[in-house]
A and B are shown apart, each in its own frame.
Chain A
């Protein structure tokens, strides 16, 4: 998986921009830390969020975690397949495990996020 275009947050979400649409998910590190994901609570299409808002939940057998959106805007699509196959986040966090798509309001928000190399450095710092 080529992650050159992916941007990361310190909360381990990623966003992949195509035009003004950002696809959002969680990093491979995050899915490994979290363990087997058994349930995903998706946002609704049309909901608007500000950067940093909790807008989805993932649950393992024992734990619940909020997913924060790295960018502000309106949810235009959610990954309904996760309702039946939440484990796709574990199996393919950067592909089939995407969670929702947001139409970005302010592209400048992207600039403050980490690229893949910076994110790896960040992970090395915390582990």
Chain B
């Protein structure tokens, strides 16, 4: 099993370790409920070093990024970040990702851990006609996410940089505990927070993780695992590749039309998506709540008028909202707020209704 450079810290912290996408990762430390609510109210520290980083460098770096991703990377300036997607020719997902514009000729794509090899191969192949060098730097980068309302206060104790001036979806290069880092105001939790990317040895990476926790104690900041990461992202209605988005659903069907810029020039998947936009989609990803008792989970069958339609793409008990929520694809004519459908939970068929998303939205100050 692969190990992040922070692996030792998880054992010191007595994390409950599981295999995730080939990595030895902590699913939880003190408990998912506790960790989830810590991020909503104070803060949590995640090791997300399993995520992938692929760099594109060269004269045609922007052209290559424009061709392989769906959003308009020409809008970026150095220091900007954009949520985007790698799409198939059919307009479906190879992966979703973050695009960091490092310098004029240098972009960093942050991709899902489970897709690193697939994405790297895909990008090498699709960008081969551009004057650009493509490197998989995933093994070199560690990534720590500091998430929650106290993130800025806590992280300020580790750097001289003015974190307050970093806006949401922006980053700076600076030192954290003396380590050269990309300090990014991003996250996958629905809270304010930072993601710190750096290249270091194991000892330095583990020490930073443990130091953040030590100094975070006074703010009730705790270590948080992949379990809470999943419930936090779902409570904030963020899609997860492999669950809610995949190579069988288009970016329009996934309700992510805002990362699709059809006027920007040629890119993979454009033609099919132009057609689909004109003709209209036939199904759409929605958020739902259970109106009956129970908890819907990934893979449970969805029924409409007693006919099986599909499956729940994500479902959980939401620890902060304290109710059962989830996401699924429904026929477009059944996606208005309040529309009802059924979910098979073991021997029972329970009622669910479409609700507004995001399920949870923080009060935005930044």
Q: Which residues of B contact A41 (CB under 8 A)?
A: 294, 346
Assess the A59–B317 pair: CB atoms within 8 A. yes
Q: Which residues of B contact A36 (CB under 8 A)?
A: 31-34
Q: Which residues of B contact A61 (CB under 8 A)?
A: 32-33, 36, 227, 231, 316-317, 319
Give Cα A83–Cα B227 distance, bound, in whole angstroms. 24
Q: Which residues of A contact B231 (CB under 8 A)?
A: 61-62
Interface string of B1-44 (1 = CB under 8 A from A): 00000000000000000000000000110011110100000000
Whether A79 is near chain B, meaning CB under 8 Å from some CB there, is: no
Whether A52 is near chain B, meaning CB under 8 Å from some CB there, is: no
CB contact between A62 and one of B293, B294, B316 (< 8 Å): that residue: B316
Q: Which residues of A contact B210 (CB under 8 A)?
A: none
Give Cα A38–Cα B31 distance, bound, in whole angstroms. 12
Q: Which residues of B contact A123 (CB under 8 A)?
A: none
**Size bin of chain B's contact surface:** 10 to 19
Assess the A39–B294 pair: CB atoms within 8 A. yes
Evaluate whether A83 and B297 lie within 8 angstroms (CB atoms) in the complex, with A39-B317, A62-B27 already known.
no
**Size bin of chain A's contact surface:** 10 to 19
How many whole Å from A24's CB to the nearest CB in chain B?
Answer: 19
Evaluate whether A38 and B297 lie within 8 angstroms (CB atoms) in the complex, with A57-B346, A62-B27 already known.
no
Whether A3 is near chain B, meaning CB under 8 Å from some CB there, is: no
Interface string of B211-233 (1 = CB under 8 A from A): 00000000000000001001100
Give Cα A79–Cα B291 distance, bound, in whole angstroms. 22
Interface string of A24-68 (1 = CB under 8 A from B): 000000000001101101000000000000000101111010000
Whether B295 is near chain A, meaning CB under 8 Å from some CB there, is: yes
Q: Which residues of A contact B295 (CB under 8 A)?
A: 38-39, 59, 64
How many whole Å from A123's CB to the nearest CB in chain B?
Answer: 18
Assess the B28–A35 pair: CB atoms within 8 A. yes
Give Cα A60–Cα B230 distance, bound, in whole angstroms. 14
Evaluate whether A83 and B32 lie within 8 angstroms (CB atoms) in the complex, with A61-B231, A62-B316 already known.
no
Chain A residues packing against B (C-beta within 8 Å): 35-36, 38-39, 41, 57, 59-62, 64, 83
23 contacts between A and B (CB under 8 A): A36-B31, A36-B32, A36-B34, A38-B319, A39-B293, A39-B294, A39-B295, A39-B317, A41-B294, A41-B346, A57-B346, A59-B317, A61-B32, A61-B231, A61-B316, A61-B319, A62-B27, A62-B32, A62-B227, A62-B230, A64-B295, A64-B297, A83-B293
